[in-house]
Homo-oligomer: A and B are copies of this chain.
């Protein structure tokens, strides 16, 4: 909201709380997380934590807002004037990188959606839907121009979301099944093949 000037100590503690909250909420969900855990992880006493954020919910909401601010950037960046297939592929790859680099954020988001999106239902049917619809127009244009194969744009976007986020959200399962921790390179190659095969026109 308003960017009140913050002292250094405030900035530091708020950041520590958000990090601790992200750790905790992304693993245990909102109800499964306790202020004690978060305070402990942030290195603060519980009342001191509540000096920076008025409530547990406020921490959670702040995290979600910060997340939404950047979560859609890769999709926004998909450029109607670029090379269609490369635009889509690089969107998917950026999403995959985010699953590697920001898995907690991905799980926080997944948790929120799983529970019915109580905090961000409005965002989903508002900003998000609008953005997806806009990009769907772009994709449909590419298909009409014969630059990519004919494909349902909305479900293509769902596919990219699910294929990439899966590696963050189902991380435990992925690693258990693969028997190793490093999935990134193989997943990238696989997704590249999967999507290109579908998108190549003709």
Binding site for B on A (CB under 8 A): 27-32, 107, 110-111, 113-117, 121, 124-125, 128-129, 132, 149, 151-152, 154-156, 158-159, 161-163, 165-167, 169-170, 172-174, 176-179, 186-187, 189-191, 193-194, 197-198
Nearest opposing residue in chain B for A188, CB measure? B155
Known: A111-B114, A158-B170, A159-B190. 6 other contacts (CB 8 A): A114-B114, A156-B190, A159-B163, A159-B191, A162-B166, A198-B198
CB distance from A176 to the nearest CB of B (A): 4
**DSSP class of A's interface residues: helix, strand, loop or mixed?**
helix
How far apart are the CA atoms of A189 and B124 in the complex, in Å? 24
| B-chain residues with CB within 8 Å of residue A190 when the two chains form the complex | 151-152, 155-156, 159
| B-chain residues with CB within 8 Å of residue A156 when the two chains form the complex | 190
Checking B31, B155, B193 against A198 with a beta-carbon cut-off of 8 angstroms, the contacting residue is B193
| B-chain residues with CB within 8 Å of residue A110 when the two chains form the complex | 110, 114, 169-170
Check A29/B31 contact, CB under 8 A, given A158-B174, A172-B124: yes
CB distance from A103 to the nearest CB of B (A): 11
Q: Are A27 and B125 within 8 A (Cβ)?
A: no
| B-chain residues with CB within 8 Å of residue A179 when the two chains form the complex | 125, 129
CB distance from A194 to the nearest CB of B (A): 5
Q: Are A121 and B152 within 8 A (Cβ)?
A: no
Checking B121, B151, B165, B189 against A176 with a beta-carbon cut-off of 8 angstroms, the contacting residue is B121
Q: Are B128 and A177 within 8 A (Cβ)?
A: yes
CB distance from A131 to the nearest CB of B (A): 9
| B-chain residues with CB within 8 Å of residue A155 when the two chains form the complex | 186-187, 190-191
